[in-house]
Amino acid sequence: MLRTGMMGAGILMLAIAAAAAEAPPDDLATAVEALKQRNRDLERRLADLEAKVGGGAEDQRASREEIKMLIDQTLAENKKLFRPDWMENLKFSGDLRLRYEYRHRTDAKGFDNDERGRVRLRFGFEKSWPDEDLMIGFRLATGADADPTTTNQTFTMFQKTPIWFDRGYARWTPKAVKGLSVAAGKMPNPWEATDLIWDPDVNPDGVWVEYRVPGLGAFEPFAGAGVFQLFNCSSRSDASLKSYQAGLRYQISKDVRWTAAAAGFIYTNIDDAFFAGNPFFFANPRGNTVTGGKLASAFQEFDLVNKIDFVALKLPMSVFVDWVHNAGNQLATKQNDGFAVGFRVGQNKKKGDWSFRYIWKELEADATLAFFAESDFGWNTYTNRKGHQWGIDYNLTDALTAGLNLFLTEPLRTGNTHEQFLTIQADLVWRF
């Protein structure tokens, strides 16, 4: 009975707070009278419930159900008190990753090992206005510097960890033109892509317009185009990226979907961004060929992606093939092609879920702009490499995933070095 009384007091307090919040000053007397009547009704219902608590099991079950119904009704009547208008269609999300990483390098000079602990924290929100066909996204993330390919922070001398602006964009999807979307700002990767030429942490800055043709049943053709700014300098030409993509998504059956996409990435004035006086960019060309203090190759990349998602043995699976060619490379070495093939089995959504993935990759020195390529594939050299990637993840709880990643790579052209890299990463990831 004490428990029922406490619940009743809580309901009465909800009613009092709601009445006070709803009542304008010039109508206070009416609000007070309405509150008194509401309280009398609640007290009468609670008295009936308390009488039932002392009865048999059936009366107690009915009492619990009625208490729940009373609470739900009170909350529904006063929804705005507990969820203001500005919180409608607002979604918060984030993740925290703790990582132990071991790296081993073998070259002509001997051996080199590196062990480190790392942390990544990302958090943000999405807010939509359905009546206005508009959505915005925002995210902050850790990171040691402004490098676009990582949000990791290495543990160092108890130093404080910086927080960087990771995403901030708006997306317009007009109902009047179904299938059209326009995104602008610092946005998630808008392309159908793999990590052959784009690190998963890269969030490009610019404008992307895409149209997905509706009403064709199992077929969904799509096309998109965008412009992205890379570097702005008063003394040199601005660098930018123009991108185009067209493709088709085909739902072959309930459990089988095929996606094919062809994309073009045309970099303009990129050599003016990567010059010797720009230490952040040029300090590490990351595998691209450099001549006379500049990138030797132009970059006009053509990328072709094929993916198949299906279910087999009651497990979600996917297979992909990705090929990139840099038509802008006029060097005699012609190191301008990249290739990757991989598969994934399983998923990670709830406790007990698991997944396994494998990728084979070959990425020649000037096949893509190395500054945006996957940073875990090499050790300060992200192109001119080939090798294996393995990964396995297991959900310890709905929110906590344990993972193990392994990279085993070596250079395509050895030159003066014979570096072979082994990278092992052990992760714990909390999602919220």
pLDDT digits (tens, 9 = 90+) for 411-424: 988 764 558 889 99
Give CA–CA dist 40/26, Å, rounded.
Answer: 24
Position 317 scores a pLDDT of 98
pLDDT band at 192 (very low <50, low <70, confident <90, very high): very high
Residue 168 carries which side chain, given as an amino acid letter?
A: G
The pLDDT mean for the chain works out to 85
Give CA–CA dist 160/388, Å, rounded.
Answer: 35
Which position has the higher pLDDT, 384 or 36?
Answer: 384
Tokens of 431: 């999602």
Position 294 scores a pLDDT of 76
Q: Are 420 and 106 contacting, i.e. CB atoms less than 8 angstroms apart?
A: yes
Position 52 scores a pLDDT of 61
Question: pTM of the predicted model, to two decimals?
Answer: 0.80
pLDDT digits (tens, 9 = 90+) for 4-23: 444 555 555 555 555 555 54
Which position has the higher pLDDT, 301 or 14?
Answer: 301
State the average pLDDT over residues 49-66.
63
Give CA–CA dist 327/82, Å, rounded.
Answer: 58
Look at residue 343 and tell me whether its pLDDT is greater than 70. yes
Lowest mean pLDDT among 134-138, 234-238, 264-268, 300-304: 234-238
pLDDT digits (tens, 9 = 90+) for 123-156: 999 999 999 999 999 999 999 888 899 999 999 9
User: Residue 379: which residues within 8 A CB-CB, separation 6 or more?
Assistant: 103, 105, 419, 421, 423
Which of 149-158, 290-299, 376-385 has the largest mean confidence? Answer: 149-158
In whole angstroms, what separates CA 234 from the centre of its chain? 34
> What is the architecture of the domain spanning 96-431?
Beta Barrel (2.40)
Position 170 scores a pLDDT of 98
Q: In the chain, what are the domain boundaries?
A: 2-83, 96-431
Lowest mean pLDDT among 52-56, 116-120, 165-169, 213-217: 52-56
Look at residue 59 and tell me whether its pLDDT is greater than 70. no
Position 75 scores a pLDDT of 64
